[in-house]
Structure 1
């Protein structure tokens, strides 16, 4: 498996790429391939999070939180109209950080599910 396999993930940034390479450096080629398949299915693209935030500005607020499996925050955003749109705007600005935190957690979960961690 090529080291460039992670680089082909949509919207991946250098920090995430380096972190994934460090996480999987001791994995065999087969385990890296299994990890990549599982991680790719669970990973969220930062642009998708941004699009959901922008939809929340004109439609139902909190979609981005539901996408990130933060159901409680999603309901809170929905009821308060995205904290009067301020929370939605802050999420739109910080969409990369939200996606990175979610993806990091999912990478560790994926490794644990495969018994690699």
Structure 2
């Protein structure tokens, strides 16, 4: 586990580690490096998400915009984070917000690696 290239990702959780391991099963060393390079540039660190959620009290919807939920970001922006309740919930659930976004980025990164090998 400690020799895995996924351990170089800052703030990686055991859940994300297991997901990455299963998603990249059967990859060659070169494919794994390409995947890791693409994924690490798209990934959101859960530790950084808590900062974005705190900043969401001043810039409403920031955390939602950063995870690609543009509609929710606009809603938060015009409703002051749903009267701060949505922002507080995002602050509590910052790890799940990051993990859901990272799951989408794993899929996109896998597609890019597979297209590069055609």
| TM-score normalised by L of structure 1 | 0.92
- The gaps in structure 2 that reach 5 residues or longer are none
* Counterpart mapping for 1:92-103 below 5 A: 92-103=91-102
Q: Please give the secondary structure, in 2, of the residue aligned with 1:44.
A: coil
Q: Say what the alpha-carbon RMSD is for the aligned residues.
A: 1.3
* Counterpart mapping for 1:1-117 below 5 A: 3-57=3-57, 59-115=58-114
Aligned residues: 114
> 1 CA distance for matches of 2:50 and 2:107?
23
Q: Please give the secondary structure, in 1, of the residue aligned with 2:114.
A: coil
Q: Please give the secondary structure, in 1, of the residue aligned with 2:16.
A: helix
- The gaps in structure 1 that reach 5 residues or longer are none
What's the offset of the Cα at 1:3?
A: 4.5
> 1 CA distance for matches of 2:114 and 2:8?
24
